[in-house]
Amino acid sequence: MTKPIVRFAPSPTGNLHVGNVRTALINWLFAAGQGGTFILRIDDTDLERSTAEYEQGIKDDLTWLGLTWGDTFKQSERFEMYDAAVDKLRDMGLLYACYETADELDRQRKLQRARGKPPIYNRAGLNLTDEEKAAYEAEGRKPHWRFKLSGERVVWNDLVRGEQAIETSSLSDPVLIRADGSYLYTLPSCVDDIDAGITHVVRGEDHVTNSGAQIEIFKALGGTAPDMAHTPLLVGADGASLSKRLGSLGMGELRSQGIEPLAICSHLAKLGTSDNVEIRDSLAQLAEEFDFGKIGRAPARFDEVDLASLNAAITHSMSFSDAEPRLAALDPLAANEAFWLLVRENCQTVEDAARFIPVAFGDIDPIIEDEDRDFISQAASLLPEGDMTAETWGAWTSALKSETGRKGKGLFMPLRKALTGMERGPSVGDMLVLMGRDRALARLG
Q: What pLDDT, in 10s, does the model give residues 248-287?
A: 789 999 999 999 999 999 999 999 999 999 999 999 999 9
Each of the 445 residues of the chain gets a pLDDT tens digit; together they read: 689 999 999 999 999 999 999 999 999 999 999 999 999 999 999 989 999 999 999 999 999 999 999 999 999 999 999 999 999 999 999 999 999 999 999 999 999 999 988 899 999 999 999 999 999 999 999 999 999 999 999 999 999 999 999 999 999 999 999 999 999 999 999 999 999 999 999 999 999 999 999 999 999 999 999 999 999 999 988 888 887 666 778 999 999 999 999 999 999 999 999 999 999 999 999 999 999 999 999 999 999 999 999 999 999 999 999 999 999 999 999 999 999 999 999 999 999 999 999 999 999 999 999 999 999 999 999 999 999 999 999 999 999 999 999 999 999 999 999 999 999 999 999 999 999 999 999 999 8
Q: What is the DSSP string of 137-175?
A: HHTT---EEEE----SEEEEEETTTEEEEEEGGGSPPPE
Question: What span, in angstroms and rounded, lies between the C-alpha atoms of 317 and 82?
Answer: 51
Task: Determine how β-strand 153-158 pairs with β-strand 162-167.
Answer: antiparallel
The reply to whether CATH 1.10.1160.10 applies to domain 236-316 is yes
The confidence score (pLDDT) of residue 8 equals 98
The helix or strand, by DSSP H or E, that contains position 287, with its residue range, turns out to be helix 283-289
> Could you tell me if residue 124 is left (phi over 0), alpha (psi between -120 and 50 degrees) or otherwise beta?
alpha
Q: What is the DSSP string of 109-135?
A: HHHHHHTT-------GGGG--HHHHHH
Q: Is 231 exposed, middle or buried (0-12, 13-18, 19+ CB in 10 A)?
A: buried
The reply to whether CATH 3.40.50.620 applies to domain 5-73+189-234 is yes
Fold for the domain defined by 370-444:
Arc Repressor Mutant, subunit A (1.10.10)
Cβ neighbours for 269, distance < 8 A, ≥ 6 positions apart: 25, 26, 29, 280, 286, 290
Regarding the domain with residue range 81-177, which homologous superfamily does it belong to in the CATH classification? Glutamyl-tRNA Synthetase; Domain 3 (3.90.800.10)
Assess contact for 25 and 58: CB atoms under 8 A: no
Question: What span, in angstroms and rounded, lies between the C-alpha atoms of 237 and 306?
Answer: 10
Question: What span, in angstroms and rounded, lies between the C-alpha atoms of 155 and 158?
Answer: 9
Assess contact for 349 and 309: CB atoms under 8 A: no
Cβ neighbours for 79, distance < 8 A, ≥ 6 positions apart: none
Cα 147 to Cα 89, 103, 210, 368, 377, distances in angstroms = 8, 21, 13, 78, 86
Radius of gyration of the chain (CA): 31
Residue 128 CB: number of other CB atoms within 10 A? Answer: 17
